[in-house]
Amino acid sequence: MKDKETKIKENEVAENIAVNDVAQDIVEPTEPVVADGIEAEVVETVAPVQAAPKGKVTMGKRMRDTARRGGRGGGGGDRAKTGGQRSPRGGRGGEGRERIKPEFDSKMIDIRRVSRVVAGGRRYNFSVAVVAGDGKGRVGVGLGKGADTALAIEKATREAKKHLIKVPLSPQMTIPHAIQAKYSSGCVKIFPARGRGVVAGSAARTVIEMAGIKDVCAKIMSGSKNKINIAKATIEALDQLIKVPKAVITGKQAPRSLGDSSSSN
């Protein structure tokens, strides 16, 4: 029994010694192995970490890259040349292009959806009426049909430009005399009114404004309020105007009627 107890104690002491040796091997750093004739040197550089002051926001990586490039859009080079001012195209470095104003302005006065019956059912189209003018005495009315509104407006504008009329205007951009005309069921009377501006309604006002006429009054004499007929009646009235000589306007010459001019010929 004593021999067995002695052996057990010896075994426990040996195990404790082995465990202590292993722990010392793990804790104590091992010396680096250096080959003969070669010097190995390990240098570790650790940048000092500076804490940001309280209440101050530091720039992240994206903000630093953006600042290095000169702002969004990559126009930093041009901005530096122009003294820090932003380029007209939003920082792209290109020159700003001025938008060219079209010669004729157009305005839609009527749009309708029309249908026709075919073998398979109904086909729907759009009918559009457009007034086009340059504001200097030229004006026209056009109709266009298409499967969509954009195509119909394009056709109507093209037709209005094909059927332009030239209105004889005075130097004050007004009509020389009163006129009345009729187209289909629409009848319009137009007469000058100095100092009153444009006094008109419905499609007649749109035609007068597109022509650039000032100081006139227009009255719809018919019971029909169809905008297409009113617009074409206004065009007929403006097309019948006669250019009055400047001497007649100033009073240096007496006006002559159409009958007198025809008899003299």
Domain ranges of the chain: 105-166
pLDDT of 145:
93
Q: What is the arithmetic mean of pLDDT over 69-97?
A: 52
- pLDDT band, very low/low/confident/very high, at 99 (cuts 50, 70, 90): confident
Higher-confidence position of 233 and 84? 233
Looking at the DSSP assignment, which residues form a beta bridge with residue 199? 217
Which range scores top for mean pLDDT: 8-17, 79-88, 126-135, 247-256? Answer: 126-135
Residue 222 CB partners (closer than 8 Å, separation 6+): 182, 185, 186, 187, 188, 233
pLDDT of 143:
95
Higher-confidence position of 197 and 7? 197
pLDDT tens track for 199-217: 998 899 999 999 999 999 9
CATH number of 105-166: 3.30.160.20
CA-CA distances (angstroms) from residue 130 to 34, 140, 186, 205, 214? 94, 8, 17, 13, 21
pLDDT tens track for 31-61: 555 555 444 454 444 455 555 555 555 556 6
